[in-house]
Amino acid sequence: MLRTETLSINMGPQHPSTHGVFRMVLTLDGERVVDLVPHFGYLHRGIEKLAEGRTYLQNVPFTDRLDYISGMSNNLAYALAVEKLAGMGPMPERAEYLRVIMAELTRLANHCVAIGFLLNDLGAFFTPVLYCLRQREYIVDLFEMASGSRMTPSYIRPGGVAGDVPPEFLPAVRKLLAQMPSFIDQLDQLLTGNEILMARMQGVGVLPPERAVALGVTGPLLRASGVPYDVRTAEPYSVYGQLDFDVVTEQGQDAYARYLVRIGEMRQSVRILEQALARLPEGPVMAEGVKRIRPPAGEAYARIEAPKGELGFYLVSDGTPNPYRYHIRATSLANLGALRDMCIGHLVADVVIILGSIDITLGEVDR
């Protein structure tokens, strides 16, 4: 039989469709992937070491830089961890609802970017990504209105929220929510039924449910494999317990199912936002006595349902104003664990789609 040997090619770290400085060494047999070795560390800034030298409040701006597509969610996870560590009492109602509003707005923005750039990898010439980025622009404007900066708001703090929202914030959110469903429908109409898209994404990157759970995969990737696991319902934090929304799951287990889950989640986020806006009470936005955070010795682990999956913060305190150990459970790192499993046996063109459907941010992977 003709002796063919495998070809090993290097994809990344500077590559248009690796969503950041992520590198894969692919071993190919013709066009088919035989093996895949991921490589990280190009964006490693040592946040966990830096955090040990700073106070709990000074660490808040670092959390925006983890998953820089969804800054607010990182703040929320860190804030919940510090509050659990310091044993702070219940937050003022208004702060809780503002947190939910900001977290769900981040989810919308993140899914816009995820779907947009996935289509870019598929080769659609910048049109879907520009529609999505336009929609994200409205959301990011809201963050700038409330916190002063678009992607690194440092708005959600241990103890509540940096400052109350300006008067023109709520009408702007209502105007956005009025237009958001029509945007999602337009995206749906442009993409969901598209035969080329279905041909490219169906049956690609299949991840069976038990393998997904074993690999620690979370978020849309897990729910697209049929496992209805969402931290907002499994371990409700903030005021998610009082809001009703359903966990979007698909049984397709492939890249197309992940796309459908993200579209479904965007619709659910709009529903949550409408409820949160309706029930937003008046009142203070910051718990008292939060100036000097000095938690007692001990440890705490808090996790949230970030747009990409489960984001956890494990903090160990030794009674000083600086955290003793500051560990981040990164969703993208866990989800990347499943990349090799899904890519083997596919063509090179599919590897890009599978990576896009996982939706990773390297800031979170490398920390």
Partner 1 sequence: MPFLNNLFGNLQDLISSWLAGFLPQWGVDLAMMAITTVALLAFLVVVVMYLTYLERKVLGRIADRPGPNRVGPLGLFQPFADVLKLIIKEATTPQGVDYPTYILAPILIVAPALLVYAVIPFGPRMVPTDINVALLFVVAISSVATLALLMGGWGSGNKYSLLGGMRAVAQMISYELPLAFAFLGVVLVTGSLSLVKIVEGQPGYPLALAQPIGFLIALICVVAESNRAPFDLPEAESELVAGYHTEYGGVRFAMFFLAEYIEMFTGSAMVALLFLGGWRGPILPPYVWMLIKVYAVLFFMFWLRGTFPRLRVDQLMGLSWKFLLPLGMVNVIVMAFIDKLHLPGGFLPGLAASIVILAVAGGVVRIGRRSPAVRTARPGLRVKEA
Partner 2 sequence: MLGTGLLKGLAVTFRHVVATYVKDLKSFPRRYRKEPVAGQDPSLRGFFTVQYPEERLRMFARFHGCLLQARDPETGDYKCTACRACERACPHGVIVVEGERNPDRESKKKMLVTKFTWDAGRCLFCGLCVEACNFDALRWSQDYELASYDRDALVYDFERLLEKRGA
Partner 3 sequence: MSESDTISRLQAALPDARVQPVEGAKDPTFLVEGDLLQAAAWLRAEGGYDFLSSVTGVDRGDHFEVVYHLYRTQGGGPLVLKVAGPWEKAEVPSLVGVWPAAELQEREAYDLLGITFLGHPDPRRILLWEGFPGHPLRRSFENKTFAHAEMRATMTSDEVPHAEN
Query: Contact between 337 and partner 3 (CB under 8 A)?
Result: yes
Burial of 122 (0-12, 13-18, 19+ CB in 10 A): buried
Of partner 2, partner 1, partner 3, none, which one sits near residue 123, judging by CB under 5 to 8 A according to partner kind?
partner 1
Tokens matching residue 224 = 């697209």
In the complex, minimum distance from the CB of residue 130 to partner 1, in angstroms, rounded to a whole number? 4
Of partner 1, partner 2, partner 3, none, which one sits near residue 303, judging by CB under 5 to 8 A according to partner kind?
partner 3
Query: Contact between 327 and partner 3 (CB under 8 A)?
Result: yes
Query: Contact between 346 and partner 1 (CB under 8 A)?
Result: yes
The strand order across the sheet containing 298-306 reads 298-306, 309-317, 323-329
Write the interaction track for partner 3 spanning residues 62-91; mark x where CB under 8 A is met and - where it is not: ----------------------xx------
* Residues contacting 289, CB < 8 A, separation 6+: none
Backbone angles phi, psi at 305, to 5 degrees: -95, 85
On whether the CB atoms of residues 231 and 237 are closer than 8 A, the answer is: yes
Closer to partner 2 by Cβ: residue 152 or 331: 152
Q: Tell me which of 124, 227, 239, 344 binds partner 3, using CB under 8 A.
A: 227
> Among residue numbers 138 through 157, which ones bind partner 2 (CB under 8 A)?
138, 141, 144-149, 152, 154
Closer to partner 2 by Cβ: residue 37 or 130: 130
Write the interaction track for partner 1 spanning residues 77-116; mark x where CB under 8 A is met and - where it is not: ----------------------------------------
For helices 127-147 and 169-187, what crossing angle results, to 10°?
A: 170
Q: Tell me which of 6, 10, 189, 202 binds partner 2, using CB under 8 A.
A: 189
CB neighbours of residue 297 within 10 Å: 11
Determine the interface stretch with partner 2 among 188-196, 250-258, 281-289, 309-317 (rule: CB under 8 A).
188-196
On whether the CB atoms of residues 324 and 225 are closer than 8 A, the answer is: no
Residue 284 to residue 287: CA distance in whole angstroms:
8
Handedness of CA 94, 161, 331, 256 (dihedral sign): positive
Query: Contact between 328 and partner 1 (CB under 8 A)?
Result: no
CB neighbours of residue 171 within 10 Å: 9
Q: Tell me which of 186, 202, 242, 320 binds partner 2, using CB under 8 A.
A: 186
On whether the CB atoms of residues 284 and 94 are closer than 8 A, the answer is: yes
Query: Contact between 99 and partner 3 (CB under 8 A)?
Result: no
Q: Tell me which of 13, 15, 17, 25 binds partner 3, using CB under 8 A.
A: 25
Q: Is the peptide bond before 92 cis (omega within 30 degrees of 0)?
A: no
Query: Contact between 35 and partner 3 (CB under 8 A)?
Result: no
Beta partners for 304?
A: 311
Residue 325 to residue 318: CA distance in whole angstroms:
9
Backbone angles phi, psi at 309, to 5 degrees: 150, -155
The strand order across the sheet containing 32-39 reads 7-11, 23-29, 32-39
Closer to partner 3 by Cβ: residue 49 or 175: 49
The residue among 288, 250, 307 whose CA lies nearest residue 71 is: 307
Handedness of CA 273, 278, 281, 284 (dihedral sign): positive
Query: Contact between 223 and partner 3 (CB under 8 A)?
Result: no
Output the CA–CA distances (angstroms, integers) from residue 210 to 217, 253, 264, in the order listed.
10, 11, 23
Q: Tell me which of 235, 275, 287, 344 binds partner 3, using CB under 8 A.
A: 235
Query: Contact between 23 and partner 2 (CB under 8 A)?
Result: no
Query: Contact between 49 and partner 3 (CB under 8 A)?
Result: yes
Determine the interface stretch with partner 1 among 102-110, 224-232, 233-241, 337-345 (rule: CB under 8 A).
337-345
Q: Which residues bind partner 3 (CB under 8 A)?
A: 8-10, 25, 37, 39-41, 44, 46, 48-49, 84-85, 210, 213-217, 227, 229, 234-235, 298-301, 303, 310, 312, 314, 316, 325, 327, 329, 333-334, 336-337, 366-367
Residues in the site for partner 1, rule: CB under 8 A?
7, 11, 15-17, 29, 31-32, 34-35, 119-127, 130-131, 134, 190, 194, 196-197, 199-200, 202-204, 206, 340, 344-352
